[in-house]
Amino acid sequence: MTQRILVTGGAGFIGSHYVRTLLGPEGPGDVHVTVLDKLTYAGNPANLDEVRGHPGFDFVRGDITDGELVAALMPGQDQVVHFAAESHVDRSIDGGGEFVRTNVLGTHTLVDAAYRAGVTTFVHVSTDEVYGSIDEGSWPETHPLDPHSPYSASKASSDLLALSYHGTHGLDVRVTRCSNNYGHHHFPEKVVPLFITRLLDGGKVPLYGDGSNIRDWLHIDDHVQGIELVRTKGRAGEIYNIGGGTELSNRDLTRLLLEECGADWDASVVHVPDRKGHDRRYSVDCTKIREELGYVPRKDFATGLAETVRWYRQHRDWWEPLRAKAAL
Q: Which residues are catalytic?
A: 128-129, 151
The CB-of-22 to ligand NAD minimum distance in angstroms stands at 15
Question: 143 — phi, psi (to 5°)?
Answer: -65, 140
Q: How far is the CB of 27 from ligand NAD (least distance, A)?
A: 18
Residue 65: Cβ within 10 Å count: 18
Q: How many residues bind ligand NAD (CB under 6 A)?
A: 30
Q: Please, which of residues 107-126 interact with ligand NAD by CB under 6 A? A: 125
Quote the radius of gyration of the chain (alpha carbons, Å). Answer: 19
Instruction: Tell me the β-bridge partners of 269.
Output: 205
Is residue 188 near ligand NAD by the rule CB under 6 A?
no
84 binds ligand NAD (CB under 6 A): yes
Least Å distance, CB 192 to ligand NAD, is: 9
Bridge partner list, 79: 5, 121
Distances (CA, A) of 42 to 37, 143, 291, 325: 10, 31, 35, 9
From residue 243, how far is each of 175, 246, 288, 323 by CA, in Å? 14, 8, 11, 28
Which one of 15, 147, 234, 243 is in contact with ligand NAD (CB under 6 A)? Answer: 15
Q: Is 222 in the site for ligand NAD (CB under 6 A)?
A: no
| Pick from 19, 49, 21, 44: nearest CA to 33 | 19
Cα 319 to the center of its chain, rounded Å: 18
Q: For residue 282, with 0-12 CB atoms within 10 Å meaning exposed, 13-18 middle and 19 or more buried, which class applies?
A: buried
Q: Which of 5, 19, 106, 184 binds ligand NAD (CB under 6 A)?
A: 106
* Between 134 and 263, CB nearer to ligand NAD: 134
**Residue 37 or 228: which CB sits closer to ligand NAD?**
37
Asked if residue 249 binds ligand NAD (CB under 6 A), the reply is no
Amino acid symbol at 113: A
> What's the distance, CA 6 to chain centroid?
16
Q: Does 154 bind ligand NAD (CB under 6 A)?
A: no
Q: How many whole angstroms separate alpha carbon 269 and alpha carbon 198?
A: 11
Binders in 39-78 for ligand NAD, by CB under 6 A: 39-40, 42-43, 63-65
Binding residue for ligand NAD, selected from 3, 6, 7, 13, defined by CB under 6 A: 13
Q: How far is the CB of 311 from ligand NAD (least distance, A)?
A: 16
215 binds ligand NAD (CB under 6 A): no
3-class DSSP state of 79 = strand
Rule CB under 6 A: say whether 155 interacts with ligand NAD: yes
Q: Are 200 and 249 in contact (CB under 8 A)?
A: no
- E strand intervals along 20-171: 31-37, 57-61, 79-82, 121-127
Comparison of 37 and 279: residue with beta carbon closer to ligand NAD: 37
Rule CB under 6 A: say whether 87 interacts with ligand NAD: yes
In the complex, the smallest distance separating the C-beta of residue 170 from ligand NAD, rounded to whole angstroms, is: 24
Q: Is 19 in the site for ligand NAD (CB under 6 A)?
A: no
Q: Write the burial class of residue 149 (CB in 10 Å: 0-12 exposed, 13-18 middle, 19+ buried).
A: buried
Q: How far apart are the first and last CA of the chain?
A: 46
Near ligand NAD by CB under 6 A, which window of 137-145, 179-187, 260-268, 317-325? 179-187
193 forms part of the interface with ligand NAD (CB under 6 A): no
Positions touching ligand NAD (CB under 6 A) are 8-9, 11-15, 37-40, 42-43, 63-65, 83-87, 102, 106, 125, 127, 155, 178, 180-181, 187
